[in-house]
Amino acid sequence: MANDFDIGLKSKLRAFAEKFSIDIKTIDEKYLFELFSNYVVVSNIINEDLEDPNSISTGKAKGIDGIGIIVNNRIIKDESDLEKIGEKERLIVRLCFIQTTTLSSFNLQKFQSFTDGVVNFLNESNKIEPFSDILSKLFDEEGRFYENITETPIIELYFCSGKTEHSMNKPDIEAEKRKLESRNDFKFRFNINDIYFFQANELKNCFDNIDKFLEVLVEFNSEITLDEKPDIPMSFVSVLRFSELKKIIITKDGFLREKLFVENIRSKIGNSTVNDDILKTLKDDSQRPYFLYMNNGITILCENVRRHETSKNKFYIKHPRIINGCQTSHILYDYSLINSSESDKVEVISKIISTTNPDLKKNIIYATNNQNAIDKDLETLNEFHSKLEEYFIGRDFFEIKFERLRGQYSEIAPQYRVITKELIAKAFISIILKEPHIMKSNAISKIQRYREEQKIFTNYEESELEKYYYSGVLYYLLNKVLSNNIIQLKSKTMDLHILLACDLKLEKDGKNTVAEKLNFLSNFENVKALFSDVNLILESQNYLFEARGFYSGPKTKKLITYFKTQYGTNT
């Protein structure tokens, strides 16, 4: 790394690179600083650790280095994330644009190009995928989201400088802001919040802030400490008021911290009997004081809990996860939006467990959730996922994990080593079933349909589990080469086609069994060459880069035929 970075900033860049397994000796410093800035800015906006800085990178797009589309404090990385929005969920949309510079002095032209790039993106004269398609769906007046947007979307620009304390001319900044505010096509569509300049000190402070989001100071009532056990240094049962619980589950901007829950809490939205009963109790003035006795409470699993230095009832909780009490937490949050003063008084029984032992953590999560009744179909699905997790554990060369329940591997970094159920389905359908286009939109509902049609998650045979593992390995390696800037994607929407093309090329090279492919991928030099070659091949297929080309079944088939006829691949 060059010596003209601030010493303190250089230290933060090293820590960031280590966290995301980036080889700091070989990566281009401009790209490293770009990823770092994207990570710092968006993590501070959402008040939590951004798991994948690549998810907001614009790749080879000019003028803008990062785009964060944030809906109710959730990063929307691709169209499939829109499916996770509840049918009746009220939406607040925030758009942040990031541009970085490592120049030694302020370049007004670069700054102006940044604001021009934002204008061109918002007026759709410059499409940057998948971000353009996401906004198109969000703002489609005939679509399901538009009517639920309750506030005018906010626009924020972040210009990040890595090497000097640039002196900015205020009139120049105001002129660029007016460029955005004065456009008639933006009126009533966007509110331009501000243009922010982050330099070395701001970036260092914001980077340090991220760790603080992971620890919360909470006051408990009537705490009963449980006996210490091996690998559980502290645990207790207590009464917790919602005024304190919300410090854990709600951001400073008033949004639910969805990543804290092992279940997708939006799946709990609806007119279920349980939800109705909880809300009915909360709304009833005569019953609300007895909520504590009518509700099962919540269980919080954390990495560490320690008592406050001077206040015996206050505890610092690090990396908390709600592993039971999803519905309770969600309905309490909903009620707080209706009646904040009364909701703050509501009490719930809370069990707090601290452990860093991954196996014990996993067992506690499973046991806590398996106490709930599940139907036979879900039980079968859980059995498949259990066997798949065991298979991943038995194949430890690539150090990837299959996550059966959200949050069970939250301590692992980088997080792209953790393959979720949704990700493994996307990768398997893209690579093994050769249908990456299917996964580009409405992926969750399509995964469910494929499951019902028994196309995925049914066969327990080792040879079949190996295919899922191989799919997870390719997904992991794609993220690794992207993080290390070994390749840059011409379009972010080509990611799943890259995975398919890697498989096709491996077969072209005579590696027809999964074992042969995995053996080849165990050498990272082979990996770099494979992804670099495949990236160039896809870039030469112009038909894929036509409007929504990566969403097209016929164009996917054309790509497969290209490999078959030009490279002799057996498909």
For residues 16-30, average pLDDT: 91
For residue 1, is pLDDT > 60? no
State residue 125's pLDDT score: 87
Given a cut of 90, whether residue 427 has pLDDT beyond it is yes
pTM above 0.95, yes or no: no
Mean pLDDT throughout 535-562?
A: 95
Helices (H), 371-461: 376-394, 421-431, 443-452
Q: How many CB atoms lie under 10 A from the CB of residue 87? A: 9
Say which residues have a Cβ less than 8 Å from residue 425's Cβ, sequence separation at least 6. 443, 447, 450, 456, 457
- 408 or 145, which is more confident? 145
Which structure tokens are listed for 403?
């996550």
Judged against a pLDDT cut of 80, whether residue 177 lies above it is answered with yes
The larger pLDDT score, comparing residue 129 to residue 531, is at 531
HSE of 115 in the Cβ direction (CA atoms, 13 Å)?
Answer: 20
Identify the pLDDT of residue 378.
52
Is residue 155 pLDDT above 80, yes or no? yes
Tokens of 363: 């067992």
Q: What is the pLDDT of residue 570?
A: 47
Residues 6 or more apart from 125 whose CB is under 8 A from it? none
Q: What is the pLDDT of residue 571?
A: 43
Is the preceding omega at residue 414 within 30 degrees of 0, hence cis?
A: yes
Quick one: pLDDT band at residue 567, thresholds 50, 70, 90? low
Measured between alpha carbons, how far is 408 from 389 in angstroms, rounded to an integer?
12
- Higher pLDDT: 259 or 511? It is 511
% of residues, the chain, pLDDT over 90: 62
Mean pLDDT of the chain, nearest integer: 89
Confidence band of 106 (pLDDT split at 50, 70, 90): confident
* pLDDT tier, 35 (very low <50, low <70, confident <90, very high otherwise): very high
Find the mean pLDDT for residues 97-114.
86
Quote the pLDDT of residue 268: 47
32, 198 Cβ separation under 8 angstroms: no
- Token pair listed for 66: 């990062």
Cis peptide before 130 (omega within 30 of 0): yes
The span from the CA of 372 to the CA of 92, in Å, is: 33
pLDDT band at 376 (very low <50, low <70, confident <90, very high): very low
pLDDT given at position 370: 64
